[in-house]
Amino acid sequence: MSVAKPYESATSVGGWPLRLRLFIANYGVYIALLALLLAATVLTPRLYDVNTIAVVMRQASQLGIVAIGQTLILLVAGLDLSVGGIFLMTSIVVADVTNGRDELVIPAILIALALGALVGLGNGVLVTKRRVPPFVATLGMLVLVKGATQAYTKGVPGGFVPDILGIVNQSWFVLSIPLLLWLGLNAAFIFVLRRTVYGRKVYAVGSNIEAARLSGISVDAIRISVYILGSCLAVASGIVLTGYVGYVDRFIGTGLELDSIAAAIVGGTAFVGGRGGLLGTIAGVLIIQILSTMALLMGLDIEVQFIIKGLVILGAVTLYSLANVEA
Amino acid sequence: MGARHKSMSEYILEMLNISKSFAGVQALKDVSIRCRPGRVYGLVGENGAGKSTLMKILAGAYQADVGEIIYKGQRREGASAGDVIDSGISIIYQELALVPRMSVAENIFLGREPQRAFGLLDLKSLHERAAELTERLGIAMDTSLPVSELTVAQRQLVEIAKALSQNADLIVMDEPSAILAGSELDQLFSIIESLVEQGVTIIYISHRLDEVFRIADEVTVLKDGELVDTRSIDQLDRQTLVRLMVGRPLDEIFPRTDHEKGELVLVAEDVSTDTILEGASLELYKGEILGIAGMVGSGRTELARALFGADPLTSGTITLTGDKGASWSNPAQAIESGLVLVPEDRKSHGLFTSLSVRVNITLPILSRITRFGVLQSQAEDEVVEEAKHRLSIVMASADQEAQYLSGGNQQKVVLAKWLETHPAIVILDEPTRGVDVGAKFEIYKLMRQLNDRGIAIVMISSELPEVIGMSDRILVMNDGRIVGEVAQEEATEAGIIELATMAGAKAKVS
């Protein structure tokens, strides 16, 4: 019926030249990170102290490991708020199973991973088979998991965190176990996303789910698997957090679920899926972590920290949407 | 100026010398229509003739590049959609604009609800006035029911009631009958008649010529964005009208190759899905092009999706003949069996716009270019390079995002992707829509090359010259059914339009 849609010339949409838009989309977050690091030389030179760098990198790793999963989920146009519940669950499982005994750490981790996978499966099934919007499905799962863990502990978490997990707080120069884990997982998942069939399918599903289905991809299986991976990565981050805190804290990792989404978005992963990747997320994680540390070093109030963080997120998203053709 | 005064008494609407183009594509060229009050005007033409564009200009959704609109004796300047409604023009689109969860009465008065003091809703008056309107339309309807509970036909009546509540003097109906059957259609016509008696002017857009003859006083024919003619209905017969719609002779050249009819490759028997598609049967032979003609909404795309396994069958069977003898129930199995679909809506069903050309092309054949699940870049580069060459895809690099390619090159990327699977059967749904003439010829040539390699092609197209020029046989669809088969030598545009617009196919079903 309607007249064939005219194709807009690729160079003129939105008024910004194509090259500039591609440049921002591809490298914007690194330029922002570089600018931040330069600003720190003047504002907070103490950031460059070896010990500070080590702490920043350890904390960035906690956030970064969850953010890997969050990026994968965002790539298939999803979202995972339930990771907050997984941190608490992991922490309680570790304390409950080991009760402080180092030799039981491995079984505890395996149990936590299995439970995490179950949560991810639940998220995935709700989103794909029951067509619940990811925000609602994972929010419900967050409340469910938190409620279930508190019912299990009757509100008084018991048990002790084994001493061996304290290893996450040690640094050799700037290197630490969390940092190595973060870097290793990044390397593995960057490889998966770029060089494997599975990675291609993840991008395809996120870019155009109907075209992916018509290309013979089992779109539901891909989406469910990504939610499971996301939950397992949250368990990994939860173990690092547990070792960091050293006891079962009811508020463990609070705020990391939103920070992990923010890191991925700031790093250029599209909220609508199909665009972005882990190299951007790494930079996004570093920006968020360095901002927090700088604010701390400058003695700014926590409220001011939040304001700065919020402005950075909004600024990044605004810039990407201006730069993006499809927005 | 003098002319305008004279027209004031005679016409309610004049659209004069309207031209409109989109990014260089001329959608309307110097089209004029005039409407007298209290009459029904049929507006007909093939898909893409410019009917909708003309009506969108009337609605204020588009502004004409050239031309003027004189409504109720006044020249209209840059009116917004809201101004147009306030001035008494209502347009009822095919996709109805109702809020499903709200009641009939609330929908009718949406945004113009009767109010009492302090902005409180006057519910009593709302329902009373809604009941008045439905009475005026001669329909019995509980105005407190949510619209989601109504049939499609009833919803359309709500739209008409809404138009009346806006004191519309001119109502445009865009293919109202496309979703109506038998008695519902009679009801619509009697409502139109009573509206006309009340002095309302109707512009009735339809593909179905029978209806136009039944209801219209005058018919305007558009073709390729130009006005062919406006005639009084008594000066027209069916044949003449079809000839006016089809108009020009074939002015495009279609490459042909002579080949013998090959062996049978696919048989579909009595295929229905949970859509309009009803009992479709067809046979497909090696190396031929089977054209599927029919109006938009006649079930062509649904047939393609059914063949591909994209919609589950509610009845019937589809089988590949020959040594494979396979059948399938999802796209993955269809692709595996050697049948692929290049979908109609490239942007939403075919192309991954945010991904690179490389990723788009190799997606269905990843297993061929991987070792232990790891992609072999060199093998992938070769595939992409060859596809680029074979289809002469113009791109800056294989890593360019598909969204930055032109329409023709995007279509070539989608084609390349499917050809890489080495299919035996290719279904092309509107393969040349939205591509420029040069790319069209390349796609035609490619189709012939595929035939020469023994590939069978099913081609769905709204462009009749293309269907006739390219197909060996043509199946015509109407109301979800295959209503006829035409051999290439005997095919004429008029004959196909006649089959495609014949009424009654649906009446048999319901």
CA distance B357 to chain A (A): 12
What is A18-322's CATH number?
A: 1.10.3470
* B23, B331, B350 member nearest A216 (Cβ): B331
- The answer, yes or no, to whether residue A4 has pLDDT greater than 50, is no
Q: Given an 8 Å threshold on Cβ–Cβ distance, is B341 in contact with A216?
A: no
Q: What is the pLDDT of residues A87-103, one digit of tens each?
A: 999 999 999 888 888 88
Inter-chain CB proximity B310 and A214 less than 8 Å: yes
Minimal C-alpha gap between A189 and chain B (Å): 13
Chain B residue numbers touching A217 (CB-CB < 8 A): 332, 363
pLDDT, average across residues B100-127: 84
What is the average pLDDT value for chain B, to the nearest integer? 84
Contact B289/B489 with Cβ under 8 angstroms? no
Q: Count other Cβ atoms within 10 Å, centred on residue B297.
A: 18
Q: What is the mean pLDDT of residues B484-494?
A: 86
Mean pLDDT of A173-191: 95
Q: Compute the distance between CA of residue B53 and CA of residue A2 in angstroms, rounded to an integer.
A: 7
Strands B226-232 vs B218-223: parallel, antiparallel or unpaired? antiparallel
Out of B373-377, B438-442, B489-493, pick the least confident.
B438-442
Residues of A in contact with B351 (CB under 8 A): 208, 211
Checking if the pLDDT of B479 tops 80, the result is: yes
- Total residues found in chain B within this entry: 510
3-class SS string, B295-339: CCCCCHHHHHHHHHCCCCEEEEEEEECCCCCCCCCCHHHHHHHCE
- For residue A158, what pLDDT band results from cuts at 50, 70 and 90? confident
Please tell me the predicted confidence (pLDDT) of residue B322: 67
Size of interface A-B (CB pairs under 8 A): 117
Q: Which residues of B touch A74 (CB under 8 A)?
A: none
Percent of chain B with pLDDT over 70: 89
Judge: B373–A1 Cβ closer than 8 Å, yes or no.
no
Residue A300 pLDDT greater than 50, yes or no: yes
Q: For residue B163, what pLDDT is reported? A: 86
Across the interface, whether the CB atoms of B375 and A197 are under 8 A apart is answered yes
**Tens-place pLDDT, residues B26-48:** 788 999 999 999 999 999 887 66
Q: Which residue of A has its CA nearest to B369?
A: A197
Residues 6+ apart with CB under 8 A from B92: B156, B159, B160, B163, B171, B172, B173, B174, B176
Residue to mutate among A9, A190, A205, A215, with most B CBs inside 10 A, is A215
> Which helix (H) or strand (E) segment is B351 a member of?
none
Looking at residue B294, what is its pLDDT? 86
Q: What is the pLDDT of residues B216-272, one digit of tens each?
A: 999 999 888 889 999 999 998 877 887 787 664 444 457 766 666 788 899 999 999
From B386, B377, B407, select the one nearest B23 (Cα to Cα): B407
Q: Which residues of B are less than 8 Å from A275 in CB distance?
A: 354
Say whether A3 and B353 touch across the interface (CB within 8 A).
no
Among residues B132, B197, B116, the alpha carbon closest in space to that of B164 is found at: B132
Return the closest-CA partner of residue A61 out of A207, A162, A209, A184: A184
Per-residue pLDDT tens over the stretch B294-336: 887 788 989 999 999 999 899 998 888 866 566 788 898 899 8
* A69 has pLDDT over 90: yes
Domain ranges of chain A: 18-322
According to DSSP, residue B344 is labeled S
Q: How far is B426 from chain A (nearest CA, A)?
A: 13
Cα–Cα distance between B426 and B445 in angstroms, integer?
15
Task: Compute CA distances A130 → A119, A133, A134, B298, whole Å.
Answer: 15, 9, 11, 31
Q: Coil, strand or helix: which one is B28?
A: strand
Q: Among candidates A227, A205, A225, which has minimal Cα distance to A215?
A: A205
- Answer whether B350 sits within 8 Å of A211, measured CB to CB: yes
- Residue B411: predicted pLDDT: 86
CA distance A317 to B42: 50
Closest residue of A to B342, CA-based?
Answer: A214
pLDDT in tens, B105-117: 988 888 778 888 7
- Phi and psi at residue B462, in whole multiples of 5°? -90, -10
Are B356 and B400 a contacting pair, CB within 8 Å? yes
Q: Are strands B74-76 and B280-285 parallel, antiparallel or unpaired?
A: unpaired
- What's the burial of A308, exposed, middle or buried (CB within 10 Å: 0-12/13-18/19+)? middle
Which pLDDT belongs to residue B404? Answer: 81
Q: Which residue has the tokens 């600018």?
A: A35
Burial class (CB in 10 A: 0-12, 13-18, 19+), B481: buried
CB atoms within 10 A of CB B17: 13
State the pTM of this model.
0.73
**Predicted confidence band at B70 (pLDDT cuts at 50, 70, 90)?**
very high
Contact indicator for A173, A50 with CB cutoff of 8 Å? yes
Task: Measure in Å the smallest separation between the Cα of B206 and chain A Cα atoms.
Answer: 11
Inter-chain residue contact A197 with B373, CB threshold 8 Å: yes
Q: Point out which residues pair with B35 in neighbouring strands.
A: B13
Q: Is A85 buried (19+), middle (13-18) or exposed (0-12) by CB count in 10 A? A: buried
If one counts every other C-beta atom within 10 angstroms of the C-beta of residue A285, the result is 31
Question: Is A7 close to B407, i.e. CB distance below 8 A?
Answer: yes
For chain B, give the percent of residues with pLDDT over 90.
27
- DSSP string of B258-297, one letter each residue: ------EEEEEEEEEESSS--SEEEEEETT-EEEEE--TT
H or E segment at B26?
strand B25-35
Q: What is the pLDDT of residue A89?
A: 94
Distance of CA B456 to the CA centre of its chain: 25
Q: Which residue of A has its CA nearest to B328?
A: A216
Q: What average pLDDT does the segment A259-270 reach?
A: 92
**B470: helix, strand or coil:** helix
DSSP letters along B355-417, please? SBHHHHHHGGGGGGGEETTEE-HHHHHHHHHHHHHHTT---S-TTSBGGGS-HHHHHHHHHHH
Q: What is the pLDDT of residue B179?
A: 60
Nearest to A3 among B22, B24, B308 (CB): B22
Q: What is the phi/psi pair of residue B48, to 5°?
A: 80, 10
Record: contact B331-A213, CB cut-off 8 A: yes
What does the DSSP 8-state code read for residue B179?
G
Say which of B336, B352, B370 has its CB closest to residue A204: B352
Q: What is the pLDDT of residue A13?
A: 41
d(CA B441, CA B392): 12
CA dihedral B204, B207, B209, B215 (to 10 degrees): -20
pLDDT computed for residue B509 by the predictor:
34
pLDDT of residue B247: 61
Predicted confidence at residue A325, as pLDDT, reads 46
For residue A10, give how far its alpha carbon lies from the nearest alpha carbon of chain B (Å): 5
**Res. A14: pLDDT tops 50:** no
Q: What type of residue is B200? A: V
Task: Tell whether the model's pLDDT for residue B142 goes beyond 90.
Answer: no
Nearest CB neighbour to A210, from listed B296, B336, B349: B349
Order of all β-strands in the sheet with B66-71: B74-76, B66-71, B13-22, B25-35, B226-232, B218-223, B40-44, B201-205, B170-174, B89-92
Does pLDDT of B431 surpass 50? yes
When scoring A2, A3, A76, A271 by the number of chain B Cβ atoms within 10 A, the one with the most, hence best to mutate, is A3
The β-bridge relationship of strands B13-22 and B25-35 is: antiparallel
The pLDDT tens digits for B166-213 are: 888 999 998 776 666 667 778 888 889 988 998 999 999 886 777 889
Question: Which chain A residues touch B332 with a CB distance below 8 Å?
Answer: 216-218
Q: pLDDT tens for residues B262-303? A: 888 999 999 999 888 989 999 999 989 999 998 877 889 899
CB–CB of B23 and A8 under 8 A? Answer: yes
Closest Cα in chain B to A217: B332
